Amino acid sequence: MDLKSTHSVLYRDTQRSIIDYGYHQQGAMVIEGARALGIPASSFTLLWVESKRPHCVRAQTLKDEDLARGAALNELAAKTFWQCFQSGVWPGPGDDRADAEYVDLPDWYRQSVDDRIKFELREAA
């Protein structure tokens, strides 16, 4: 279990924090470390505590499939680090997209907005 302070324990806010801070990757690493030490570990739970009164609390356990995604991302990060170490080439900020003159909204957010607008328009009719 890992204690996290947050501005909100609402589901969508905790989801966003998991993505933004890579808690699925942290959980996978904690489980891997525990197993390496011979400590049984099969799940990872986040205990959220709001930083402002009334300090609401929520416990959420990450799903195994999301911990597996975190482990895969950790493996990819280690591979990338090793390749950079071997080649001596360390990409910096801005090296990720050659077409960075324009920036667009992520596909998942576009779909979310489109769905919300479609639903709201249907409800208004």
pLDDT in single tens digits along all 125 residues of the chain: 999 999 999 999 999 999 999 999 999 999 999 999 999 999 999 999 999 999 999 999 999 999 999 999 999 999 999 999 999 998 887 666 666 677 778 999 999 999 989 888 877 76
In this predicted structure, what is the pLDDT of residue 105?
86
**Architecture of 2-91 per CATH?**
Alpha-Beta Complex (3.90)
Spatial strand order of the sheet with 45-50 comes to 2-6, 45-50, 57-61
In this predicted structure, what is the pLDDT of residue 99?
64
